[in-house]
């Protein structure tokens, strides 16, 4: 039980949410499972439960595991969980599976793939369906992570569905994001594309016993080196004069020697910086692993630990978590406004009455939306409607 957790004993006639909250804070496995279900499905009282545990949040480290389908994310998650358990940590795993666009169902098979830790009492695994949510996560992923945080788990591993270049929600939910790739993930042109490649705090080339692993690692390091090449470019610009840059002269100057070397071999510079303890700016390390044999897992966990120290030292952890809180407020507002509007019979009737005008072109969707908001201000504000003659 977490050191700061209050006793789980409450009055027998206590409110069910209050009783569940007390048991959750005590870390009781059955209570954790029930609380996750309440929050995931937005059952009555879920908002009161989340509000009650909000002061307890921020103790757990949240690590996102993302990458394309078939990269070995579940195997990587399992291996990291085993390594963290070896340290004596309690680990929560939130694994997101895609929902079928045809049946609405989801396999939720991550527990099967994580059988090596599924029976460990220090590991809690919850599979979530995307339920149509884009971005690689379920719409309730962050709220479920809050429940596990409040329950006293030391580390929460968030595994996304197989993603492409635009599913970036995991970077908003995690403190550290590990992007898992395989040699087949793409050529050097793919590594230069924006999107998921830009959210990585740690890169891991998994299944590194396959051909092409070293080439992919070098391509990623080249991309990272080119991104950080601005400083060397400034030095070259200053020394260019009318006759170009004299690289030989710059290379002999101790003040510029490192800039020249980095500019000539940006991939090597990125590898060097990625392996170092960093405090001012973070260069993602690019690592190799064979997660199925737990090879390279210690190095991945070491990189995650170094990133955690960087976040603390630079103040980036607080900035990231403050952005997360701001986004959560916006999400709650949008959800409440949407529910208040579209669960109201008069609102739906108002829209239906304007379909003929919209179809005939005498009214536009923008005008109808403005009129709807004007008449529905009381719903947005959550107050009683105005009197008919007001």
Tens digit of each residue's pLDDT (9 = 90 or more) over 179-238? 999 998 765 555 556 667 788 999 999 999 999 999 999 988 888 888 766 444 444 444
Q: Which two tokens stand for residue 11?
A: 């009055």
- Domain spans in the chain, listed from the N-terminal domain onward: 1-56, 58-230+268-314
Predicted pLDDT at 296: 96
Between helix 46-53 and helix 141-150 the angle, nearest 10°, is 50
The answer to whether the pTM exceeds 0.75 is yes
By the 10 Å C-beta count (0-12 exposed, 13-18 middle, 19+ buried), 374 is classed as exposed
DSSP-derived secondary structure for 84-132: HHHTT--EEEEEEEPPPTTT------HHHHTHHHHT-TTEEEEEEE-TT
For residues 203 and 179, what is the distance between their CA atoms, to the nearest angstrom?
A: 5
Predicted pLDDT at 387: 67
- The pLDDT of residue 106 is above 80: no
For residues 62 and 135, what is the distance between their CA atoms, to the nearest angstrom?
A: 17
Phi-psi region of 67 (alpha: psi -120 to 50; beta: other; left: phi over 0): left
Predicted pLDDT at 6: 47
* 58-230+268-314: in CATH 3.40.50.300: yes
Predicted pLDDT at 243: 46
For residues 298 and 10, what is the distance between their CA atoms, to the nearest angstrom?
A: 43
Phi-psi region of 20 (alpha: psi -120 to 50; beta: other; left: phi over 0): alpha
Read off the pLDDT band of 1 (50, 70, 90): very low
Return the bridge partners of 64, or none: 158, 177
Report yes or no: 183 and 290 within 8 Å, Cβ to Cβ. no
Of these ranges, 3-7, 100-104, 147-151, 194-198, the one predicted with the greatest mean pLDDT is 147-151
For residues 234 and 374, what is the distance between their CA atoms, to the nearest angstrom?
A: 54
Apex CA 16: angle with CA 12 and CA 19, to 5°?
Answer: 65
């Amino acid at each position: 039980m977490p050191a700061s957790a209050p006793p789980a004993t409450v009055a027998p006639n206590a409110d069910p949410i209050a009783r569940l909250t007390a048991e959750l804070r005590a870390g009781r496995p059955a209570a954790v499972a029930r609380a996750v279900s309440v929050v995931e499905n937005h059952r009555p009282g879920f908002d009161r439960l989340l509000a009650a545990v909000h002061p307890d949040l921020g103790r757990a480290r949240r690590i996102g595991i993302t990458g394309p389908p078939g990269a070995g994310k579940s195997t990587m998650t399992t291996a990291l969980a085993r390594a963290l358990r070896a340290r004596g940590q309690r680990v929560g795993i939130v694994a997101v599976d895609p929902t079928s666009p045809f049946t609405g169902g989801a396999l939720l098979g991550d527990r099967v793939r994580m059988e090596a830790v599924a029976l460990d009492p220090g590991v809690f695994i919850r599979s979530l369906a995307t339920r149509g949510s884009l971005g690689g996560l379920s719409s309730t992923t962050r709220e479920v992570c809050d429940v596990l945080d409040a329950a006293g788990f030391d580390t929460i591993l968030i595994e996304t569905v197989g993603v492409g270049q635009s599913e970036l929600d995991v970077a908003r939910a995690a403190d550290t994001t590990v992007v898992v790739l395989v040699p087949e993930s793409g050529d050097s042109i793919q590594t230069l594309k924006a999107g998921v490649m830009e959210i990585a705090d740690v890169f891991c080339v998994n299944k590194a016993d396959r051909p092409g692993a070293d080439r992919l690692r070098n391509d990623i390091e080249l991309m990272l080196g080119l991104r950080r090449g601005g400083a060397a470019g400034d030095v070259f610009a200053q020394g260019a004069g009318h006759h170009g840059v004299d690289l030989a002269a710059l290379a002999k100057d101790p003040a510029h020697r490192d800039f020249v070397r980095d500019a000539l071999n940006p991939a090597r510079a990125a590898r060097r910086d990625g392996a170092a303890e960093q405090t001012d700016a973070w260069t993602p390390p690019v690592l190799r692993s064979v997660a199925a044999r737990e090879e390279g897992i210690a190095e991945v966990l070491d990189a995650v630990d170094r990133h955690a120290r960087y976040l603390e030292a630079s103040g980036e952890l607080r900035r990231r978590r403050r952005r997360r809180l701001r986004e959560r407020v916006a999400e709650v507002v949008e959800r409440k406004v949407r529910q208040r509007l579209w669960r109201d019979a008069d609102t739906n009737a108002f829209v239906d009455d304007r379909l003929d005008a919209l179809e005939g072109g005498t009214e536009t969707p923008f005008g109808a939306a403005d009129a709807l908001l004007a008449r529905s201000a009381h719903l947005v504000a959550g107050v009683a409607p105005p009197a008919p003659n007001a």
